C-alpha cells in the first residue's frame, strides 16, 4: 500500500522531533481518558429525529477499540486506507478513531461529494473498504467498484432508512480487542487523510500522523482554554479539520463532553445548547447570521465561541465572547488565534500562535508593515505541527513549501500595530482607522 511505504519514509524525517508524543499514538489518549474519565459523559448524540443517546469515556473507548478489532477481523491492517463517507453521527467518530486505533488510515470525505469525486478519492488512496450510510451506499458502490467491502450504518444520521443486509451493517464491525495484533505506539505512523477543496485542480490528500492528531488535541484545547467541565456543541462537519481538531480532539484531550448534531440547524441550535448547558462551540460566519434572525434565549451557558473573526457585533446580541482564529487542514490547528482570556480586537483573526512561525510578505517580497497586505506563510514541524505530506503527490508537497520550510498558504492578510491579524480587505488602512 502507498501509505505503508510512505510511512516508512516519514519515520526517518520525524523521529528527532517526536519528543512531545514519543511512544504515544491515538490509543494512548483514548486509553488514558477511558481510565481517568471512565464514567464522565463523553459523547451525547442529538439527532433531528429519534432519541438522544450518550456514551461515557469508558463506553466510547470500548466501542472504538471493538470497531478496530472488527476491522482487523475483516482483513484491514496497518496502513490500509478505509473511506469514511458519513454525515455527522456517532458512527463517524467511531469509524475515524477506530481506524486509527487499528493502525489503518481513515479517509474522511465530504458527504456532498459527487460520484466522480468519490471515484477519485478511492483510487488516489487505494482504499480497500468504506463506511457509509444508506442514502450514499448505492452511489459509493457504483463509483468505487474496487472496494473489497462496504459497511452501512443503520440510519441516515439518525433519520430512518432501509436496513442493509446483516453482513454489511456497520454494527457488525465489532470484535474482542484482544484479537488485535501487537503494534508499537508510533507517533509518526499515518492516521488520516482529508482532501482539500480542489477549487483550481484535483483535491490534494492531506495526510496526518498520529502525532498531528495528538498535537491538534493538545494545542487546540490550550488555545481555546477548554476544560474538563466544558460541554462542546459540535455542528461543523466531522470530515473536516475544524470539527476533528478544534472540537473532537480538543474535547478528548481536555476530558470535556461533546454534544453532536447532524449538522448546523439554526432552529435547533439554541434548544439543544440550553438543554445540555453547552459552554463552547466552533461556528462560522454563516451560522451567526442565521442565528441573528431568531430569538436568543434569556439564559444560556456559553462562555466562548470560536469563529473566523473575534468579537463580531453579534456577540452583544448572543451574550457570548467570540475568539477569532485561522487555520487550514495542513496546519492541524490554529496558526493564528485570539486570546481565550483577554479581549481581542473586533474582526481580528487573532495573533500568531506561539507554537508556529508566521511570515507576512508584501508584493515586493519584503516583510509587510502594519496596514500593508501580504502573503501569509507558516512554519512548523512536518508530521507534528504541520501535515506530513500530500499523499501520493510528491510534486505538490514540494511546491507547498519554500526553501526555508514555510508553508505557502495562498491566503492574504494584514496586521495592526499590535500584531493582530486581519483578513485581506480592499482598504486595510481604512479599517484600522475605523477601529481606532
Over residues 213-237, the mean pLDDT reads: 98
Q: Does 14 score more than 70 pLDDT?
A: no
Over residues 63-77, the mean pLDDT reads: 98
Question: What digits encode the pLDDT tens for the residues 387-425?
Answer: 999 999 999 999 999 999 999 999 999 999 999 999 986
Residue 163: band (very low, low, confident or very high) from pLDDT cuts 50, 70, 90: confident
Q: Phi-psi category of 279—alpha, beta or left, where left has phi over 0 and alpha has psi -120 to 50?
A: alpha
Question: What digits encode the pLDDT tens for the residues 340-367?
Answer: 999 999 999 999 999 999 999 999 999 9
Over residues 198-217, the mean pLDDT reads: 91
Helices assigned H by DSSP within 74-198 = 90-102, 115-125, 134-143
Over residues 245-251, the mean pLDDT reads: 98
414: cell is 494584514
Cα separation values, 3 from 186, 189, 376, Å: 15, 9, 30
Q: Residue 104: name the closest of 181, 200, 170, 29 by CA.
A: 181
**Which residue range(s) make up the domain with 263?**
2-292+299-435
Separate counts of helices (H) and strands (E) for the chain: 14, 20
Would you say the pTM of this structure is higher than 0.85?
yes
Q: What is the CATH number of the domain that holds 344?
A: 3.40.50.12780
Q: Does 5 score more than 50 pLDDT?
A: no
Q: Which residue has the higher pLDDT, 13 or 434?
A: 13
pLDDT value at residue 10: 41
Cα separation values, 409 from 257, 284, 369, 378, Å: 33, 20, 19, 7
Q: What is the DSSP string of 8-31?
A: HHHHHHHGGG-GGGTT--HHHHHH
Q: Residues 111, 86: contact at Cβ < 8 Å?
A: yes
Cα separation values, 334 from 254, 285, 293, 343, Å: 17, 17, 29, 18
Q: How far apart are CA 302 and CA 2, in angstroms?
A: 44
Counting the structural domains of the chain, the total is 1
Q: Is 432 helix (H, G, I), strand (E, B) or coil?
A: helix
Q: Residue 349: name the closest of 311, 376, 309, 314 by CA.
A: 309
Question: What digits encode the pLDDT tens for the residues 308-343?
Answer: 999 999 999 999 999 999 999 999 999 999 999 999
Q: Angle of helix 26-36 relative to helix 90-102, nearest 10 degrees? A: 120
Amino acid at each position: 500500500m502507498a501509505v505503508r511505504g510512505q510511512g516508512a519514509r516519514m519515520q526517518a524525517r520525524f523521529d528527532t522531533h517526536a519528543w512531545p508524543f514519543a511512544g504515544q499514538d491515538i490509543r494512548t489518549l483514548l486509553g488514558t481518558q477511558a481510565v481517568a474519565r471512565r464514567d464522565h459523559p463523553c459523547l451525547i448524540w442529538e439527532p433531528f429525529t429519534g432519541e438522544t443517546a450518550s456514551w461515557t469515556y469508558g463506553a466510547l473507548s470500548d466501542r472504538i477499540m471493538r470497531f478496530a478489532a472488527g476491522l482487523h477481523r475483516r482483513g484491514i491492517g496497518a496502513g490500509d486506507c478505509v473511506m469514511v463517507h458519513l454525515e455527522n453521527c456517532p458512527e463517524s467518530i467511531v469509524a475515524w478513531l477506530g481506524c486509527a486505533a487499528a493502525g489503518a488510515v481513515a479517509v474522511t470525505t465530504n458527504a456532498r461529494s459527487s460520484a466522480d469525486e468519490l471515484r477519485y478519492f478511492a483510487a488516489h488512496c487505494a482504499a480497500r473498504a468504506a463506511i457509509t450510510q444508506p442514502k450514499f451506499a448505492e452511489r459509493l458502490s457504483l463509483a468505487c467498484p474496487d472496494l473489497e467491502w462496504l459497511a452501512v450504518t443503520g440510519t441516515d444520521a439518525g433519520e430512518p432508512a432501509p436496513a442493509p443486509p446483516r453482513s454489511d451493517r456497520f454494527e457488525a464491525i465489532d470484535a474482542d480487542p484482544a484479537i488485535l495484533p501487537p503494534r508499537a505506539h508510533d507517533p509518526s505512523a499515518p492516521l488520516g487523510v482529508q482532501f482539500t477543496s480542489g477549487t483550481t485542480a484535483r483535491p490534494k490528500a492531506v495526510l496526518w500522523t498520529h502525532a498531528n492528531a495528538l498535537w491538534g488535541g493538545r494545542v487546540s484545547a490550550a488555545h481555546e482554554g477548554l476544560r474538563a467541565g466544558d460541554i462542546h456543541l459540535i455542528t461543523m462537519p466531522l470530515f473536516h479539520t475544524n470539527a476533528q481538531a478544534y472540537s473532537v480532539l480538543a474535547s478528548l484531550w481536555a476530558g470535556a463532553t461533546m454534544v453532536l448534531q447532524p449538522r448546523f440547524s439554526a432552529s435547533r441550535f439554541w434548544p439543544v445548547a440550553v438543554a445540555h448547558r453547552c459552554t463552547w462551540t466552533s461556528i462560522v460566519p454563516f451560522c451567526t447570521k442565521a442565528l441573528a434572525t431568531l430569538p436568543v434565549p434569556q439564559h444560556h451557558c456559553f462562555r466562548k465561541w470560536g469563529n473566523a473573526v473575534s468579537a463580531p457585533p453579534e456577540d452583544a446580541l448572543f451574550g457570548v465572547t467570540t475568539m477569532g482564529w485561522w487555520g487550514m487542514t495542513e496546519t492541524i490547528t490554529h496558526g493564528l488565534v485570539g486570546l481565550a482570556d483577554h479581549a481581542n480586537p473586533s474582526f481580528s483573526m487573532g495573533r500568531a500562535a506561539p507554537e508556529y512561525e508566521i511570515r507576512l510578505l508584501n508584493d515586493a517580497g519584503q516583510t509587510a508593515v502594519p496596514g500593508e497586505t501580504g502573503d501569509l506563510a507558516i512554519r512548523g514541524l512536518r508530521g507534528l505541527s504541520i501535515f506530513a505530506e500530500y499523499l501520493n503527490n510528491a510534486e505538490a508537497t514540494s511546491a507547498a513549501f519554500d526553501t526555508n520550510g514555510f508553508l505557502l498558504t495562498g491566503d492574504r492578510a494584514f496586521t495592526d500595530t499590535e500584531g493582530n491579524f486581519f483578513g485581506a480587505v480592499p482598504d486595510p488602512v481604512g479599517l484600522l482607522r475605523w477601529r481606532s
